[in-house]
Structures are given as C-alpha cells and as structure tokens.
Amino acid sequence: MGKTSTTRYDVAEHLRSTEEMVAYLEACLDEAEGDGAFVAKALGDIARARGMAQVARDAGLSRESLYKALSGERNPGFDTVLKVVKALGLRFHAATTSEQG
C-alpha cells in the first residue's frame, strides 16, 4: 500500500466571496461559546482571504501585530476587533435570541 499524502486545510483559501465570509463568521460566532480567541481566529481567516496587508493598512495596524492578534492564541482587545471588522467591510448586528431562529 502506498503512502497517503495530505496537505493542511486552510479555510482562507475557500473564502472567495463576501457572502461566504459572512456565513463563516456567523457560524464561528455561533460555535464560539464565549471563546474570544476562536472568533479572533475566524476574523484572521477572513483577513487572510482578503489580504492581510491590506486589512492591516485599512485597520491602521501593522501586519505583524494583526497576525498575532488574530492567530487564535490570544484574545485581542475589542478595539482591535472593531477596527478589523470595519476594515473587512463587515459590521456586527445585535439580535434577540428569538430572532436567531
């Protein structure tokens, strides 16, 4: 039997449209269960799909600090999250739990 070759799955390579990015972020927010680093990682995936250097410029942050903040290994400050969300052209939406379906 031959060796099986695998490659690391990178979700950023599959986030091609804004609609896919929004659906991915919504799914991650639903699954996060209060884990801020998990949500930050999802934003990082979306930022990499868009182009981290451009997102960093639009957010007014360095590319290196943005990679660190959105690595999933730490909880970035809420101000950083808001800057990234704005730079991605997204916005948060509040809803009651009965509206979530």
pTM score, two decimals? 0.86
Query: Domain-by-domain residue ranges, the chain?
Result: 16-88
**pLDDT, mean over the chain:** 92
Residue 16: both structure tokens together: 């091609």
pLDDT over threshold 80, residue 98: no
